[in-house]
C-alpha cells in the first residue's frame, strides 16, 4: 500500500461471540485497523479481540442501526467495512475491497453474501446473492437510528456492487434459526408500528402465503430442495408472527 491510498477500518459488532470471532478476525488481516464494538459481552469476546490486536469499545445495545452509527463515529479512516462475527472475508473479496476504495468509483459498495445454513450453502430463496451494503465512505454514510432490524446505510453518493462474496455462517441448527427469527419478528413489529402500519384480519393469511411463494418460487428457493421448502415455510411463519406482534402492539397503543 502506498501512503496515498485510502485506508480501511473493519468493524465487527459483537455480543457473546467468542465462538465465531477468532476466525472472523483472522480474515480481516487486509484492513488497516479493526474495531470491535461490543454490546457488553459476558463471555471471552473482548479478550479475544484485544489479543488479536483489535481496538475494543463497549457500547450498550439499543438496536443494530444505532450500533453501526456509533461505530461510524469511532472510525478514524476514510473507509469502513462492516463484518459480522459469523462472517468471513475471503482473500479474493479482500483484494476487491482494497481495489474499490483506491478507485473510489462510489461512496458505498454492495457485497454479495453467501449464506451457509446447517452446513449447506444456499442457492436461492433470497439467501443468494443477498447483497449487503457494507463497504462505505465514512463521511458520506449514516444509519437511521429508528430502524431496529435489517438496517441499511443511507449514502450521500452513488453505490455499486462488488462481485466477490462474503461468507456468512448463518445458522448451525433449526433451533438457532427459529430462535433468531422469533427475535427478528418482534423487532420487525416495532418497526412497522413506528411507521403506522396496521394489520387487517386477512393479512394473517395472505401475507404469510405471499412470503412463502416469494421465497420458494420468485426468489428460487426450490434450488435448495427440501431445505428450500422448509425455509420458505419458516419465513412465512416469521411474517405471521410479526403481524400478530404488530396487532398486539397496536391494541396496547390505542
By the 10 Å C-beta count (0-12 exposed, 13-18 middle, 19+ buried), 186 is classed as middle
Across 54-58, 77-81, 154-158, 196-200, least confident range: 196-200
Computed over every residue of the chain, the mean pLDDT equals 94
Q: Does residue 137 share a domain with residue 100?
A: yes
Q: How far apart are CA 222 and CA 22, in angstroms?
A: 34
Quick: pLDDT tens for 101-123.
Answer: 999 899 999 999 999 999 999 99
For residue 147, the model assigns a pLDDT of: 74
Tell me which of 121, 141, 170 is where a domain ends. 170
- Residue 123's nearest CA partner among 134, 133, 132, 112 is 112
Choose from 1-15, 42-56, 133-147, 186-200 the range with maximum mean pLDDT: 42-56
Q: How far apart are CA 40 and CA 61, in angstroms?
A: 8
- What is the residue range of 58's domain? 8-170
Q: Does residue 177 contact residue 184 with C-beta atoms inside 8 Å?
A: no
Q: Does residue 33 contact residue 1 with C-beta atoms inside 8 Å?
A: no
Classify residue 3: in a domain, yes or no.
Answer: no
Q: Does residue 204 share a domain with residue 162?
A: no
The residues near 153 (Cβ < 8 Å, ≥ 6 apart) are: 68, 108, 133, 136, 141, 142, 143
Quick: pLDDT tens for 186-203.
Answer: 989 988 998 899 999 999
State how beta strands 132-137 and 141-142 pair. unpaired
Tell me which of 110, 135, 170 is where a domain ends. 170
Rg (alpha carbons) of the chain, rounded to whole number: 19
Q: Does residue 109 contact residue 160 with C-beta atoms inside 8 Å?
A: yes
Classify residue 1: in a domain, yes or no.
Answer: no
Classify residue 86: in a domain, yes or no.
Answer: yes
Higher pLDDT, 252 or 46: 46
Classify residue 2: in a domain, yes or no.
Answer: no
Q: Does residue 239 contact residue 209 with C-beta atoms inside 8 Å?
A: no
Q: How far apart are CA 176 and CA 241, in angstroms?
A: 17
Q: Does residue 78 contact residue 112 with C-beta atoms inside 8 Å?
A: no
- Residue 80's nearest CA partner among 16, 22, 133 is 133
Q: Does residue 135 contact residue 97 with C-beta atoms inside 8 Å?
A: yes
Q: Does residue 93 contact residue 168 with C-beta atoms inside 8 Å?
A: no
Q: Does residue 48 share a domain with residue 135?
A: yes
Q: Domain count of the chain?
A: 2
- CA distance readout (Å), 164 to 10, 92, 99: 17, 6, 12
- The model scores a pTM over 0.75: yes
CATH classification of the domain holding 90 = 3.90.550.10
Amino acid at each position: 500500500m502506498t501512503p496515498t491510498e485510502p485506508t480501511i477500518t473493519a468493524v465487527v459488532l459483537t455480543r457473546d461471540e467468542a465462538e465465531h470471532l477468532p476466525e472472523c478476525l483472522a480474515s480481516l488481516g487486509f484492513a488497516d485497523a479493526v474495531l470491535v464494538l461490543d454490546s457488553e459481552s459476558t463471555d471471552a469476546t473482548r479478550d479475544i479481540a484485544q489479543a488479536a490486536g483489535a481496538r475494543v469499545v463497549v457500547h450498550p445495545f439499543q438496536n443494530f442501526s444505532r450500533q453501526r452509527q456509533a461505530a461510524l463515529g469511532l472510525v478514524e479512516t476514510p473507509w469502513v467495512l462492516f463484518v459480522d462475527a459469523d462472517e468471513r472475508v475471503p482473500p479474493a473479496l479482500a483484494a476487491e475491497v482494497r481495489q474499490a476504495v483506491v478507485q473510489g468509483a462510489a461512496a458505498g459498495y454492495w457485497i454479495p453474501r453467501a449464506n451457509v445454513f446447517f452446513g449447506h450453502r444456499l442457492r436461492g430463496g433470497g439467501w443468494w446473492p443477498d447483497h449487503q451494503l457494507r463497504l462505505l465512505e465514512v463521511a458520506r454514510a449514516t444509519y437511521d437510528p429508528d430502524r431496529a432490524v435489517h438496517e441499511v446505510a443511507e449514502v450521500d453518493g452513488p453505490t455499486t456492487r462488488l462481485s466477490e462474496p462474503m461468507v456468512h455462517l448463518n445458522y448451525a441448527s433449526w433451533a438457532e434459526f427459529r430462535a433468531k427469527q422469533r427475535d427478528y419478528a418482534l423487532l420487525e413489529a416495532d418497526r412497522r408500528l413506528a411507521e403506522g402500519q396496521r394489520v387487517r384480519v386477512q393479512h394473517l393469511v395472505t401475507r404469510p402465503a405471499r412470503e412463502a411463494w416469494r421465497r420458494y418460487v420468485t426468489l428460487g428457493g426450490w434450488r435448495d430442495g427440501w431445505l428450500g421448502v422448509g425455509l420458505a415455510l419458516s419465513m412465512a411463519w416469521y411474517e405471521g408472527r410479526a403481524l400478530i406482534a404488530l396487532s398486539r402492539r397496536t391494541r396496547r397503543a390505542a
